[in-house]
Structures are given as C-alpha cells and as structure tokens.
Amino acid sequence: MFGVGRDLCGSPSPTPLPKQGHPEQAAQDRGQMPLSDSVTTCLSPPVHYVICRLGFEKKDTYDISNILSENGEVRWQAVAEHVCYLESDQSVDYIRSIRSFGPVCECVNLHFQSLPKEQFVVQYAVWFRWTNYTELFLEVFDVLQRTQTTEVALGLMKLTSCLERALGDVYLLIGKDCPFLLRDLLASQQLAVVFGQAVMNVLRVFIGSPYGLNLRNVLWHGFASPQEIPAKYCAMLLFLTAGLGQLLQTYLLQTKCILVHRPYVVFVSLEELDAFPDVNHEALSIAEELVKLSSFVLKTMLPFWMAALTAFKQNRYADCVILLLPQLEVGLRLLFTATNKCPNRLLTAEPSALYTTFDEMLAKHLDNEEVNQLPTVLEEPAMEFLWDFLNHQEGPRIRDRLSHGEINLKAFPREVANQIVAFAITLLCRFSDEDIPFKEHVVIKPLMNCARCYRSRFHPISRLKKQVLGCMKSIHLWPELPTVPEEHVRTIKGLEGNAEASTLILMISEIISQLQQYMPQNCSSSDDPVNSVLTERLLIELCDTHVCTLYSPRPVLEILVVLRKISTQCHRVSEQVIASAELRYEQWMKKTLRSRQRENYLRMLTSMKFLSPVLRLVLVLVTLELVNVHLVCKKNPFDYQQYLKFLKSVLQYTENLVTYTSPERNKWDETMELTNKSLMKIRKISDRKLMLMQLAT
C-alpha cells in the first residue's frame, strides 16, 4: 500500500456524524454507520488551505512566454525560480513555493484552454512519448477543456500513476531496484542526475511530498472530493511532464542511452478472481440508487461513485476501478473511525504523521495496541476479500499496481472491475437502512450471498491447498502413461528393484495405519490401504476444511513457507517423471535408445511404483499439517524447532528427488535409498507424536 497509517496528531475532528433517526451506538451495533451528510470535507484545515486556497492568494497575471519558448520548449530555469527555499537549511519552503506557483499554474491552464487540439498534438505529443502512454496525456488535455471536476480528478490520478511509472523507467537508466514510494523516487540522486535537482524540487511541490500539495496521495487515498482539486494543478503537471520529456531527450542524446519501459503487470488466471456473478445494467441501476441512500457514502464523494458506475457501463474498466478504490477507502475509513471511536482520523494527516489508510484499517490492532473493531463489523468474508484484492503478495494487489502505474489501463480486464463493483454494491447494501427494499432484489441477493461465503484465495494457506490438489492431479496422470510390457522389465539383468519397491510400499502402509485416526473416517479400505487412502478425494475433503487465514501468526507463516516448498518440489518431480516417461517410451518404440538408456528407462518404471505412493503420502501429510497449522503456536520453542527441522528434512528429500529424477541425472536407484531414509524419519516423528495433526487430539 502507501505506508501504514498513524494516529493523526493534532488533526481537528470533523463535524460529528448525525444520528438520522436512531442513536449512533444502535447503528454500530447493527453493523451500520450513521449517515454522514454533515462531513463536508476529509481534508484537515491546514491541508484544505494548502490545496484549495494557498495557490490562489497571489493575484498576479503571469505571461506564458516566461516559461515557454516560441518553439515550444519549457524554460525550466524560469519554472524552477518559483521554488522557494528555507534560509535555515536550504530545503524547499513548500508554503511559499505553492503560493508563488499559483499564478503560473493559472497561466498554463489558460494557455492550454486557448490551444486548439490539433495545435496541442503537434506541439506536445512527441514530448509525452517517454511516458509510454501518449494517449493518456492527450485525454487529459481534453478534460481541461471541459473542466468537469470529477474528470479532472480522474485525469490527475491517471497522470500521476503513469508519470511515476515513467520516472521509474528513467531511474533504471542509472540505478537498480526502483524505489516503491513516489516520494523516495523523486528524492533519488539518480533522477537528479538526469533531470537536475531543481527540476525534481519543482515536481516535489506538486506530488510526492507530504509538505507540498501531495495531489497524488490525497486523491488516491480518497481524501479529496472532486470540487477540492483545482484544474490548474492538473494543467501544470501536464505541462511539466512535457518538459521532462524534453530534458530526457537531451540526456539520452548525450549519453547514448536507450530508455526501456518495464512490461506491465498482466493478470493471469482471471478465473481465480471470479467470486461474484456478472454485474448487469439492472444491478448498476440499483447501485446508483443505493449510492444516494447508503451511509457508506460521504455525500461530498457522490460524484465519484456515480462516475465509477457510469464508467463500468461504458466499458471503461480501469477508470471505474480507479474511481472506486479510493471511495471504498473513504467508506471504510468512515466505518473505521466510527467503530473505533476516533473521528479525528477521518481527515488527512499533517506532514508529521501518515494517513489512516487501508493498511491500518485492515490490521488486527490499532497503534495503541487496542484491537481494531473494523474486522468485527465487516466480518471475516469481507476482510478476506479486501486482503485478497489489496494486500496478499500473490493476489492482484489492484490498488498498488494501478496507483503506481504498473497496469496497462487500455487492457484492464472487465473480470477484475466486476469483482470490485460487486463487492462495493454489497457494502452499500450492508450499510443502508434495514427497510431499503433493494437488499432483497433478485439481482442483488446473489451478490450478497457470494459476499457472505467468500473465502481467501491468495493467502498462503489457500495457495497451498491449490498447490496440493494440482500436484495430486499430476500424479494421477501416471497410470495413463504409456509403458513397455512388464516382461521387459524382468528380462534386464541387475533390476532387483521390485523387492525394494515392495518394502517401501509396505513402510508407507505402516505409516498410513498410524495416521489414519487423524483422517476422515470414510477414506479408507483394509484391502488396499495405500491406494484407498492416498486419494484425490481425501485431499479434496481435507482442503475443503476451513482454516482461518486472517492475521496468521509468524510461526504459522514460517511453517506454511516450508509446506509450500515441499508441495512445489513434489509437483516438479511428477512433471519430470511424466516428461521422461513419455519421451523414453517414444524413443523405445522408435528403437533409438542405447542399451544403457533402455536399462535406465526400465529402472524408472520400477521406481514409479513406489514414487507415486510416497509422493501422495507426502501430499497427505502436508495437507493434514495444513489443516492443523494453527496448533503450531502451542508448541514450546524446543519442540517447534524439532518440528521445523523435520519438515525441512522432508523438503530436502523432495529437493533431492527433483535432482535425481531430472533428465540430466536419471539416478533412479538412488531414489530408493533416499525414500527409505525419509520414510524412516516420518515414522520416527509419527511415533514421537510431534506432528500437528497429533496435537489436535
């Protein structure tokens, strides 16, 4: 996200939330917020002054020729002269600088409004190419002609995210590991080398510094309403972006460097994100009515909500989500401040403290170590959805990636937008008066039902479940692999592996009998304990067991890391066996295998007889431990370390299997010895009852 929130030291409280016909506490008890018509701004008085008034105090008329040459070049020296510095340490004096820039920004805005679109394109389009998204900046120019406040705010959000991405690309001309935060990027020495420190100071007045206008953050965090963002600041950033393109061209010509744009993040496996049914036009029409009635919506933010729903109707999915995510943050912040009784935190922070953002609102505890009450009010499914879509490292992390310019806005998938819109509709419903009829509407009820049933898909626990089932499916393909007749295996001298394989399978059967009491009782057969227990059906049943994912303690996460690595290695072994078996059979049939290769292939077929059950046993062990993973917190430090050591030994075994079964090594006899040692360790740990499943009883 954008950093963990902090207590808003000294921030004045907003107007108390009105009670609208029922006491505030009663509304909270019912999981509702009192309506917030009287909250007229989420900007604290100092921030409101800086953004809405400071840049309008100087009434001077400014001449565009002072900062723009006749041939269309930005006069950066003249622009930078408006940055003022403190006498004490020569750091930027943001207040004086913003005041000085006020007439300049007004002049730039009027200049753009006076330009025909054709002339703007001819004069400026080439200077936006360095951003890798010229069309966006041309769209922002169109927005400035209309000066519709919601469009200006949206344009600024898109412009700043695209600009940040482009600046990161420039950073990588010189440096490595581009800073994640915009303020760190703008303060970097690498960008100062390319553009000059004075130019970077100009940018910091407008974006990236909490002491300046900080336009990007107040918009992306949902603090600014549409009417609070002056269009002239959007015009100025458009102007500055073109000027940066001019400076960059000079630098690239001098250094002979080539600017390389990082590839956009691409959403893969969109079906994993598919939690809600499709939001149709009827549902959107109901949502437009709910927005006007729901206590989740600040009335000053209503235009953003309506614009987001309109964008979805018009298939502008990136615009929809960009508009909607900050509003979800506003609504949750309103709920957060009400449930935790800290109304002052509804406002922006001052430079000495960070904002109350998603990070803090989704956390288990507040800064004062008290338990955050928001999860209790939202309930686990909604929290899981928010963590999945915003926070988990393997999830889409939509807000991070959109706000930092990592996603191609032109190809934003409808599937992702649909999930955000559907979830938003469920929140509008939940935090509305009980007598609103829309809650039971035929197109809304399915959304509400899905919201109530949501389970995490991107927590490590959920990812491990998916891994295990995927690996088991792979192993289930083994019996379908083409193989040479059994008599060929017996005719090769030196292949006495069948007896050893039988011994290993017998040991697997013994371990299964020890662990069967910890498995569902309907998953066994005395006739064939290996193949009747180590089944996909057992794993599916175990994976259907709900395991709490919210706020997993550190020991749980440490164990999950090892379990996931084990599962990954098992899958690699299976994929290698499948690939080798198919290739060798094809070569056998074509009679292109040398004598030694034939023997090696037949050894592999022998090894597969025990490798399949042992890999399935490992997967069952992993899943049983996963189902009981929270019990690891009950272990004392010594037992925990012993248990972790055991899991790492299983991991080592699977890693060695990957090596020995690789096409380069083909050490099939060694796999028997490895497996024997590992099964003995598993049996020993089982005898000592150190496994988590054994703690459950």
pLDDT tens per residue, range 238-292: 999 999 999 999 999 999 999 999 999 999 888 899 999 999 999 999 999 999 9
Question: In 3-state terms, what secondary structure has residue 93?
Answer: coil
Mean pLDDT (whole number) for 196-206: 97
Is residue 33 pLDDT above 70, yes or no?
no
366 with 402, same domain? Answer: yes
Is residue 486 pLDDT above 80, yes or no?
no
**Last residue of some domain: 453, 479, 505?**
453
pLDDT tens digits, one per residue of 424-476 = 999 999 998 777 777 778 899 999 999 999 999 999 999 999 999 999 999 99
**Last residue of some domain: 223, 255, 287?**
255
Which segments of 294-397 does DSSP mark as H helices, in order? 302-313, 317-339, 358-361, 374-378, 380-386
Q: What angle do CA 85, 91, 94 make, to 5 degrees?
A: 60
Provide the strand spans (E) within 513-652: none
**Last residue of some domain: 453, 486, 521?**
453
Give the pLDDT score at 663. Answer: 87
* Nearest alpha-carbon partner for 226 in 285, 153, 121, 324: 153
Say if 444 falls within a structural domain.
Answer: yes
Give the C-alpha separation, 406 to 161, whole Å: 8
HSE (side-chain half, CA atoms, 13 Å) at 683: 16
- Ranking 8-12, 39-43, 205-209, 336-340 by mean pLDDT, the lowest is 8-12
Say if 642 falls within a structural domain.
Answer: yes
Is residue 36 pLDDT above 80, yes or no?
no
End-to-end CA distance of the chain: 41
Give the pLDDT score at 483. Answer: 83
Give the C-alpha separation, 338 to 361, whole Å: 12
Mean pLDDT (whole number) for 563-574: 97
Give the pLDDT score at 697. Answer: 65
Confidence of residue 490 (pLDDT cuts 50, 70, 90): low
Say if 163 falls within a structural domain.
Answer: yes
Question: In 3-state terms, what secondary structure has residue 413?
Answer: coil
Contact residues for 448 (Cβ-Cβ < 8 A; gap 6+)? 426, 429, 439
More confident residue, 172 or 601: 172
* Nearest alpha-carbon partner for 436 in 289, 288, 297: 289
Give the C-alpha separation, 66 to 472, whole Å: 70
226 with 282, same domain? Answer: no
Say if 18 falls within a structural domain.
Answer: no
pLDDT tens digits, one per residue of 413-422 = 999 999 999 9
Say if 266 falls within a structural domain.
Answer: no
Say if 14 falls within a structural domain.
Answer: no
* Nearest alpha-carbon partner for 461 in 314, 622, 254: 622
Give the pLDDT score at 666. Answer: 83
pLDDT tens digits, one per residue of 283-327 = 999 999 999 999 999 999 999 999 999 999 999 999 999 999 999
Domain count across the chain: 3
448 with 465, same domain? Answer: no
Mean pLDDT (whole number) for 607-631: 94
Is residue 8 pLDDT above 60, yes or no?
no
172 with 192, same domain? Answer: yes
642 with 671, same domain? Answer: yes
pLDDT tens digits, one per residue of 573-603 = 999 999 999 999 999 888 898 888 888 888 8
Give the pLDDT score at 491. Answer: 55
Chain centroid offset of residue 448 CA: 23
Is residue 35 pLDDT above 50, yes or no?
no
Element (H, E) at 145: helix 134-146
How crowded is residue 175: how many other Cβ atoms within 10 Å of its Cβ? Answer: 16
Which segments of 476-527 does DSSP mark as H helices, in order? 486-491, 497-515
In which domain, by residue range, is 667 found?
Answer: 460-695
CA distances from 110 to 115, 144, 226, 231 (A): 9, 9, 20, 10
Say if 408 falls within a structural domain.
Answer: yes
475 with 561, same domain? Answer: yes
Is residue 357 pLDDT above 70, yes or no?
yes
* Nearest alpha-carbon partner for 622 in 396, 473, 465: 465
665 with 596, same domain? Answer: yes
Give the pLDDT score at 14. Answer: 33
374 with 466, same domain? Answer: no
300 with 237, same domain? Answer: no
Give the pLDDT score at 268. Answer: 85
pLDDT tens digits, one per residue of 402-415 = 999 999 999 999 99
Is residue 568 pLDDT above 60, yes or no?
yes
Share of the chain above pLDDT 90, in %: 71
Give the C-alpha separation, 461 to 175, whole Å: 36
Is residue 27 pLDDT above 50, yes or no?
no
317 with 351, same domain? Answer: yes
pLDDT tens digits, one per residue of 359-376 = 899 999 998 889 999 999
Helix-strand-coil split of the chain, %, nearest 5 = 65, 0, 35
Confidence of residue 102 (pLDDT cuts 50, 70, 90): very high
Q: Considering the chain, what is the average pLDDT of its residues?
A: 89
Contact residues for 426 (Cβ-Cβ < 8 A; gap 6+)? 382, 447, 448, 450, 451
182 with 281, same domain? Answer: no
Is residue 3 pLDDT above 60, yes or no?
no
How crowded is residue 267: how many other Cβ atoms within 10 Å of its Cβ? Answer: 16
Give the CA diameter of the chain.
Answer: 99
Say if 65 falls within a structural domain.
Answer: yes
More confident residue, 687 or 193: 193
468 with 433, same domain? Answer: no
